[in-house]
């Protein structure tokens, strides 16, 4: 675009130079002409600079829009990166939870192993306790048998003693006057004492001996009866004590048996509870394994879904970014290509017309130059003939002077025609400016139509400055001037 603008500026400069040459060839270039030419060139250069600035502003706007789009894309990528970081943190948390579950599982397996060891130890203790209980029961049974045997021996000895006492009582009862009871004996003894007291005086000495004998006999009998009653009481007491001991031993044996049964029942209940605990632990381990499998499956599904979502989102983002960039590039290239094509077509048409007018003007100028050449030849010929025949042609001086006046008139006419050509060239220049203005209006119309259809990201049209008021509104003149 810049090269084409520079080329067009060079064309205008060449046209201005040709105009200056023609004007200089027609007449001398005054300061006013130079000033107007410089003003026109400065005005055209200012217009071109304004166009370039507008084009740069459009390019800057398009660059800003592209930069904004790239910033939005970068922000979206940053947001996507943040979302990826959040997903990574969630995955790390899931991994930490998985590690915690694995640690809990290992601890659960360790606890289960320890419980298995405890159960094995309890089984061993139960087996050893059963053996000890059996040995204790056997020892207790042996001790009870020994006690029973001792009690039996004591009972046999006591029965023997009782039988011995019974035999002694029987022997005492079988003695003389065995049918006499103790009371009778006491009465007899009292009677004997009374009789002895009555016969005391008569028979004092034998009576004293008899009373003494009776008292001794009485004392012996009382001691024997007392000892027998004491022995009977001791036997009854010992028998009661032995019965109490037997009952205590029987009660202790029954209580010991009940305690052994209760302990065995408690141990069996504990074994059952331990077996139930083992079942619960096994079920808990199975539940933990099921939970672990479910968590692993859920984690795998989450990872697969997250990976699929990330891939889909990245693909969609890449596709959308590529599509947006392609659309932007296509829009910009289409707009530039259409604008350049229209501009090139219009410039070609207008330049072809300009070159046609330039060709016509060149033909006119060549005709004028040939006329001037012939005029110069005629002038030279007249001057030479006048110089050679100046001495002998005094009469022809007036004629030559008249012809010179005619030549002056012809020169004035030629200069007038040249001024007309110059004016026509100026009109051509004005027409070229109008053509450029029409090109600009056409470009604005094309850009306006395109903007009404779809402005797109840019460049958007900017209002241009109005043209100078001294330009002619007529179309390029197609008049061909000839010099007679």
Q: Which residues contact 479 (CB under 8 A, 6 or more apart)?
A: 424
Question: How far is it, in rounded angstroms, from Cα 330 to Cα 336?
Answer: 10
> Cα dist. 104→93, 112, 215, 285, 288 in Å?
16, 12, 104, 11, 9
The two three-digit tokens of residue 274, written as one number = 């331990």
3-state secondary structure 211-248: HHHHHHHHHHHHHHHHHHHHHHHHHHHHHHHHHHHHHH
> Cα dist. 22→34, 326, 372, 478 in Å?
13, 53, 14, 19
**Model pLDDT, residue 177:** 43
Question: How far is it, in rounded angstroms, from Cα 369 to Cα 377?
Answer: 12
**Model pLDDT, residue 405:** 73
Going by C-alpha positions, the residue among 173, 165, 168, 148 that lies closest to residue 233 is 165
The two three-digit tokens of residue 170, written as one number = 């029987």
Question: How far is it, in rounded angstroms, from Cα 235 to Cα 244?
Answer: 14
Are 475 and 430 contacting, i.e. CB atoms less than 8 angstroms apart? no
Question: How far is it, in rounded angstroms, from Cα 146 to Cα 249?
Answer: 12
3-state secondary structure 50-82: HHHHHHHHHHHHHHHHHHHHHHHHHHHHHHHHH
Rg (CA), the chain: 78
Are 197 and 183 contacting, i.e. CB atoms less than 8 angstroms apart? no
Q: Is the peptide bond before 459 cis (omega within 30 degrees of 0)?
A: yes
Question: How far is it, in rounded angstroms, from Cα 432 to Cα 434?
Answer: 5
Are 19 and 426 contacting, i.e. CB atoms less than 8 angstroms apart? yes
User: First vs last Cα of the chain: how many Å apart?
Assistant: 46
How does DSSP assign 283-316, residue by residue? Answer: HHHHHHHHHHHHHHHHHHHHHHHHHHHHHHHHHH
Total count of residues recorded for the chain = 484
* Geometric angle at alpha carbon 411, from 408 and 416, rounded to 5°: 130
For 471, list phi and psi in degrees, rounded to 5. -80, 145
Going by C-alpha positions, the residue among 426, 441, 412 that lies closest to residue 474 is 426
The two three-digit tokens of residue 177, written as one number = 């006057």
Q: What is the pLDDT along the chain (484 residues), one digit of tens a residue?
A: 444 454 555 555 555 555 555 554 445 556 677 677 777 777 777 887 788 788 788 888 877 887 888 788 778 878 877 877 887 787 777 778 778 777 877 887 787 777 778 777 766 766 666 666 667 667 766 766 776 676 667 667 766 766 666 676 666 555 444 444 455 555 655 655 565 555 545 444 444 555 565 566 556 656 765 666 676 677 677 767 766 766 776 676 567 667 766 766 776 676 677 667 667 767 776 777 777 777 778 777 777 887 787 778 778 877 877 777 777 778 777 877 787 777 778 777 877 787 787 778 778 777 877 877 887 787 777 667 656 665 665 666 566 667 667 766 777 777 777 788 788 878 887 877 787 788 778 777 766 654 444 555 555 555 554 444 444 444 444 344 444 3
Are 469 and 74 contacting, i.e. CB atoms less than 8 angstroms apart? no
Are 350 and 432 contacting, i.e. CB atoms less than 8 angstroms apart? yes
**Model pLDDT, residue 291:** 74
- The helices-and-strands tally (H runs, E runs) of the chain is 5, 0
**Residue with tokens 């899931």, as numbered in its chain:** 94
Beta strands in 249-289 (DSSP E): none
Q: Classify 167 as helix, strand or coil.
A: helix
């Amino acid at each position: 675009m810049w090269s084409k603008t520079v080329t067009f500026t060079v064309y205008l400069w060449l046209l201005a130079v040709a105009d200056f040459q023609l004007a200089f060839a027609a007449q001398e270039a005054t300061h006013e002409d130079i000033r107007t030419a410089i003003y026109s060139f400065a005005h055209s250069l200012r217009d071109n600079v304004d166009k370039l600035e507008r084009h740069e502003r459009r390019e800057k706007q398009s660059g800003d829009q592209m930069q904004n789009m790239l910033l939005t894309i970068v922000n979206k990528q940053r947001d996507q990166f943040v979302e990826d970081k959040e997903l990574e943190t969630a995955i790390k948390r899931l991994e930490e939870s998985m590690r915690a579950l694995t640690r809990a599982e290992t601890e659960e397996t360790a606890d289960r192993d320890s419980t298995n060891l405890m159960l094995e130890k309890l089984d061993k203790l139960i087996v050893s306790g059963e053996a000890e209980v059996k040995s204790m029961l056997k020892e207790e049974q042996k001790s009870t048998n020994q006690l029973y045997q001792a009690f039996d021996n004591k009972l046999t000895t006591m029965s023997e003693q009782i039988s011995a006492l019974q035999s002694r009582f029987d022997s005492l009862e079988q003695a003389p006057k065995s049918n006499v009871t103790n009371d009778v004996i006491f009465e007899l003894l009292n009677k004997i004492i009374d009789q002895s007291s009555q016969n005391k005086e008569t028979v004092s000495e034998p009576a004293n001996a008899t009373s003494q004998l009776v008292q001794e006999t009485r004392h012996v009998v009382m001691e024997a009866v007392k000892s027998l009653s004491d022995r009977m009481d001791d036997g009854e007491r010992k028998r009661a004590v032995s019965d109490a001991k037997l009952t205590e031993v029987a009660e202790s044996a029954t209580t010991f048996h009940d305690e052994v049964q209760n302990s065995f029942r408690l141990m069996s209940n504990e074994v059952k509870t331990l077996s139930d605990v083992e079942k619960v632990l096994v079920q808990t381990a199975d539940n933990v394994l099921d939970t672990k499998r479910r968590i692993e499956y859920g984690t795998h599904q989450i990872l697969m879904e997250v990976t699929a979502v990330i891939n889909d989102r990245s693909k969609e983002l890449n596709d959308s970014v590529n599509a947006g960039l392609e659309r932007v590039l296509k829009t910009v290239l289409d707009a530039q290509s259409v604008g350049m094509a229209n501009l090139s077509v219009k410039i070609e048409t207008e330049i072809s017309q300009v070159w046609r007018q330039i060709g016509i003007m060149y033909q006119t100028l060549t005709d004028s130059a040939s006329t001037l050449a012939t005029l110069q030849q005629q002038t030279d010929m007249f001057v030479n003939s006048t110089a050679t025949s100046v001495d002998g042609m005094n009469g022809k001086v007036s004629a030559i002077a008249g012809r010179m006046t005619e030549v002056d008139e012809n020169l004035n006419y030629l200069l007038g025609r040249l001024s007309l050509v110059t004016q026509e060239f100026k009109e051509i220049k004005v027409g070229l400016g109008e053509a450029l203005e029409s090109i600009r209006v056409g470009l604005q119309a094309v850009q306006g139509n395109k903007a009404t259809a779809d402005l797109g990201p840019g460049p958007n049209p900017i209002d241009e400055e109005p043209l100078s008021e001294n330009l002619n509104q007529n179309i390029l003149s197609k008049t061909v001037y000839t010099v007679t």
